[in-house]
Structure 1
């Protein structure tokens, strides 16, 4: 009997981009996986390969409902909490719903996990928590003031997690994601992330529009690095590793101009005309920070994190996946 087959992981937001990749990975490692999703931003097609897997259980429901959360954590050893309404612009347009999902829903999941004696609660935190801090690289202990409603909600998550650790003894670990990209990331919708959106536009020979002059920089982080961090956070047995937060990134930064250049190069291997597509520039986006770069020293030292994919390596993988999936 596989040692993981007796362990059950709840992945909230499991039909989303990061969540469905986590479902796939942990099913491959023979864990029992429960997916909770309301399919507002997640997609059923992300789960189609797992639905007939005996180790997979789908619960369609909303984290804003405490009873649903209580049901989902029943018999669960670990929670990987990915469910949230992402996007800074969405939170600016609709701060109430963002708060209901990201704060009230998060609190429901903490309460349900506490009451079910879940061993550990690992959650998606965000680099947006660094706010207006101009220090680079970003170190976990130095943050600024949030610049958007979304950033506020993700910071509140960290505060709640810390209180639940101290007050109730629930083991929590927050992973501050930095611009995650990769397979299964949705290129459609008003709040699509920049990489899949640009890929889709370039494949259609449309000009991507960069916000600002293209010199804003980001620590773009491939999905497999994020999966590694979730696994390390879940299984670590070091006392000093829990009840804290970690940057989840590659530890390098590239400008948006760099990013589009790489995309055009890699996509041109499939269609040489893509290399000729012009880039357009628009106004800066409200709530955006100019530069983002993570220090990953804490994760390396305490968790043994070794990110395997740089931006370019990750983009090569992602572009191949998008070419296959979008051409179908």
Structure 2
């Protein structure tokens, strides 16, 4: 395969890049390194080309497609780190997605895989959230990502859009796990939001991606998750035990902010039935594997799509 990966220096993109290079596929990465890191990719590899720039730059995207001639596209690029920068979210997540989709049409790609966020569901009526639940995003990130998915759906491309749970693996730089790990190691205070999330191991994500990229595999929209929810306090307790911190008083727990969702757990049953896929790692195994990676490599950076609490 000749695989073009947007956002290829992020957690998911860089992990997939490594996987496909080992399998002797050709990979082209487009990344502006706003949240991804150049060090997450090999310095040089005969099958890897890295293009520095944003998917919002139509000329750059068109040149990359024309020169590389991809057979497959994985659209992982996303803007999310400033909840108030609606313009940047729109440029990247909507206009950038349109640029990538249009270039993929011209290239007649065999598969187009889009990474979406569970936040596209907004505040769901029930959890776990089925894949046919209505899209009701209410944050800039969720709204713009949902719009991007909608444009892909109308493109006529052979596409798969994955509504993702919290994928946890090497180089993870967003969410409570790196936050708690870094702060507790530094002796700093923490708090937990009273929220529930589902976490899935990167290796389990890889296995479903392998099935999705097969020629003739089903298209459409799918949830990728374990289907089980866990509180942020459960994350904190596992991290605190791992780093050997015993608090004199319980960690403060706060109500979710106006831009947050109390419970977001995705129902993967349609994905499991369609692809014959099953998550392998338990919640505890997933978190411990992540913490072991931080012990060896450290935390590069921490980002969040949420506003800081007042």
What TM-score comes out, normalization by structure 2 length?
0.90
CA pair 66-327 structure 1, distance change in 2 beyond 3 A: closer
CA pair 320-277 structure 1, distance change in 2 beyond 3 A: farther
Aligned pairs for 1:27-176 (under 5 A) are 27-47=21-41, 50-73=42-65, 74-87=68-81, 90-91=82-83, 93-165=84-156, 170-176=157-163
What SS does the aligned partner of 1:76 have? coil
Q: Unaligned 5+ residue runs, structure 1? A: 1-6, 187-191
Give CA-to-partner distance per residue, 1:5-61, whole Å, 9 cap, x none: xx21111101111111111111122211111111111111111xx232211111112
How far the C-alpha of 1:158 sits from its partner, in A, is: 2.1
How far the C-alpha of 1:263 sits from its partner, in A, is: 1.6
Aligned pairs for 1:1-328 (under 5 A) are 7-47=1-41, 50-73=42-65, 74-87=68-81, 90-91=82-83, 93-165=84-156, 170-186=157-173, 192-211=174-193, 214=194, 216-238=195-217, 241-242=218-219, 244-265=220-241, 267-268=242-243, 272=244, 274-276=245-247, 279-326=251-298
Give CA-to-partner distance per residue, 1:173-203, whole Å, 9 cap, x none: 00001122221012xxxxx422111111122
What SS does the aligned partner of 2:264 have? coil
Give CA-to-partner distance per residue, 1:255-278, whole Å, 9 cap, x none: 11111112222x24xxx3x23375
How far the C-alpha of 1:128 sits from its partner, in A, is: 0.6
How far the C-alpha of 1:230 sits from its partner, in A, is: 2.3
What TM-score comes out, normalization by structure 1 length?
0.85
CA pair 75-293 structure 1, distance change in 2 beyond 3 A: same
Q: Unaligned 5+ residue runs, structure 2? A: 301-310
Check whether the contact 1:123–1:173 (CA below 8 A) recurs between aligned residues: yes
Give CA-to-partner distance per residue, 1:131-190, whole Å, 9 cap, x none: 12221111111124212121111211221111112xxxx11100001122221012xxxx
What SS does the aligned partner of 1:245 have? strand
Count of aligned residue pairs for this structure pair? 297
Using CA pairs under 8 Å that are at least 6 residues apart, name the structure with larger relative contact order, 1 or 2.
Answer: 2
Q: Distance in 2 between matches of 1:116 and 1:144?
A: 30
How far the C-alpha of 1:327 sits from its partner, in A, is: 8.8
Comparing 283-292 and 116-125, the one that deviates more = 283-292
How far the C-alpha of 1:236 sits from its partner, in A, is: 4.9
What SS does the aligned partner of 1:34 have? strand
